[in-house]
Amino acid sequence: MKNLILSLALAIGVSACTSVESATVAGNEVVANGGEAVAVIQANSIGLTLIFHIVDIVSSDLDQIVNKLLVAEAKAMGASKIDLKGAATTPRHGIFALAGNIIGFPMSGGTAIAVK
């Protein structure tokens, strides 16, 4: 039983992760809607769910990617907002719920330009 709990804790710790990558850019070389471009930001997240994506152990969704990762990184770099270029997440409803079977690993990602 101890080994099972230890294995489960290790699997949860290793499986769910978040990555935010950014590169500063010159405002006159990159065009952005709504202001001067400061940086290009990419965020990715892998979550952990149980039983057809019903129980979230570690969340990974568009709210986390856009609001908590992309916007937070842009503000940390001195920008006031982002110009969202793309965002995607693993669907959780309908036929896609079957992909979550017993243990699921939903993935989310987004790319934006930080704008002053």
Residues 7-24 have pLDDT tens digits of: 766 666 656 788 999 999
Share above pLDDT 70 across residues of the chain, in percent, rounded to a whole number? 91
Beta-strand pair 55-58/17-24:
unpaired
Q: In the predicted model, what is the mean pLDDT of the chain?
A: 86
* Residue, of 109 and 97, whose pLDDT is higher: 109
- Does residue 46 have a pLDDT over 80? yes
pLDDT at 13: 61
Nearest to 53 by CA among 12, 8, 105, 11: 105
Sequence letter at residue 58: V
Share above pLDDT 90 across residues of the chain, in percent, rounded to a whole number? 45
pLDDT at 9: 66
Angstrom distance (rounded) from CA 63 to CA 85: 15
Q: Could you tell me the residue ranges of all domains in the chain?
A: 16-115
Residues 30-44 have pLDDT tens digits of: 888 888 999 999 999
pLDDT at 39: 94
pTM of the model: 0.80
